Copies of this chain bind each other. A is one copy, B any other.
Amino acid sequence: MSIDMSHTYTVEVGYDEFCGALAARDLKPLWKIAKQLMPEVPLPTTQAWLWKWDDVLPLAKRAGELITLERGGDRRVLALANPGLRGLPFTSTTLWGALQYLGPHESAPAHRHTPSAIRFVLTGSGVYTTVNGDACDMEPGDLILTPIWNWHDHNNRSDDPMVWFDGLDLPLLTALESIFFENHPDQLQPVDGHNRSEQGFAGVGLREMGISSPIAHSPLLRYRWGETERTLEALQRARGGPMVSLEFVNPLTGGPAVSTFACEMHRLSPGARTPTKRKTGSSVYVVFQGSGRSVINGVCFEWGPGDIFVTPSWASVDHEANLQADLFAISDRPVLQVLHLYREEELVERQEVSGTFVPLQGALRTAEVNRDEH
């Protein structure tokens, strides 16, 4: 019994009725939407955007007073919702960026999920995140991994709150319909030791014999700021130029620390502008220290400590610091690379600046858009 075409009649309908018949049968004609679907260069819905530390922090603090951490409201997280993404709580189509606030002596209960998360500590001290039994201390500038399907809880033993940046692949895993989640049977998991993942990684290029890497992520779960800073300084001395960049990788494979996004640190030397580049895929930048500005598709984004901004796919981007600046970033580059979709290029000339981003205007516009949708 094979496909038969001979008996089929043609429906004798006019164009309008034809279009209605398509809709009624869950069909869409390509010819009406081809140019939107297949633009000549990426036409991202992700918008270049910036969130000011001074706008976000007071709200995070207020959340600390209004919201308690209990089952069902596990985490006190403010997601950076890109206004281009039609109300979705995502920072780009692939990346989730958020600020998480953990009050003094609070704990966020243990769970695990297939989305991988990283925590980049902005301010606070005396906190640890337990990852599969390993209590990883968190200090400003540290990067902590809570990768795919690893149990994790957060614990603040100090009298001060901590605020960190959360980076997740949640939008990508939503698109891939691959999210699993499980609460730990206990409120907090037992702690087997402290900073155990760092054992045996005391020297570059030295690998403990007989160990192998977890399949999807780095065995090293804490990347201390001291090591990062020392490497940035060494690169600065060796390479010079307006910017040096490093990636946090799995020391046993050289691959990305988590499979689904890159974790990077960029140091900008003051007074020089980087060349203008564009690349496929989005990045979320977190200003750890220093100040400056980034030009994204001709629009100038001014930033200082704690500010966060996002660059869309194929946007023209350059950076310039007033004061030496360290920018932590996450990017979906590893996904694009493994699928052979990554492209990058440096523009021959630096882009011109045609305007300046004003967050308030953006905020207003978003509020309006949201209002329209409800």
Q: Check if A66 sits within 8 Å of B245, measured CB to CB.
A: no
- Lowest 10 A-B CB distances belong to which pairs? A203-B227, A177-B313, A28-B89, A216-B340, A30-B77, A199-B238, A31-B73, A203-B231, A209-B245, A202-B231
* Smallest CB gap from A177: residue in B: B313
Q: Inside 8 A of A54's CB, which chain B residues have their CB?
A: 8
Q: By the criterion of a CB under 8 Å from any partner CB, how many residues of chain A are at the interface?
A: 166
Q: Does A357 contact B (CB under 8 A)?
A: no
Can you name 29 A-B pairs with beta carbons within 8 Å? Answer: A1-B304, A3-B53, A3-B306, A4-B306, A5-B123, A11-B58, A18-B62, A22-B59, A23-B367, A26-B363, A30-B75, A37-B174, A38-B113, A38-B170, A39-B181, A42-B178, A93-B177, A176-B281, A176-B332, A177-B313, A200-B239, A203-B228, A205-B248, A205-B249, A205-B251, A206-B227, A206-B249, A207-B247, A215-B340
Chain B residue nearest to A366 in the complex (CB): B26
A347 at the interface (CB under 8 A from B): no
Q: Does A208 contact B (CB under 8 A)?
A: yes
Which chain A residues (239-261) contact chain B, with CB distance < 8 Å? 239, 244-254, 257, 259-260
Closest-CB distance, A121 to chain B (whole angstroms): 10
Once the chains bind, are B89 and A30 in contact (CB under 8 Å)? Answer: yes
Question: Could you say which of B9, B171, B199, B264 contacts A58, with CB atoms under 8 Å apart?
Answer: B9
Contact flags (1/0) for A294-307 with B, using CB distance below 8 Å? 00000000001110
B206 touches A246 (CB 8 A): yes
Task: Indicate how many identical chains form the complex.
Answer: 4
A22: chain B residues at CB < 8 Å are 59, 78
CB pair A1 B215 closer than 8 Å: no
Interface residues of A in 219-237 (CB under 8 A from B): 220, 223, 227-228, 230-231, 233-235, 237
Residues of the B chain whose Cβ atoms lie less than 8 Å from the Cβ of A260? 339
Known A-B contacts A26-B83, A39-B179; the reply to A254 vs B213 at CB < 8 A is yes
| A258-274 contact mask (Cβ, 8 Å, vs B): 1 or 0 | 01100010000000000
The minimal Cβ–Cβ distance linking A74 to chain B, given in whole angstroms, is 6
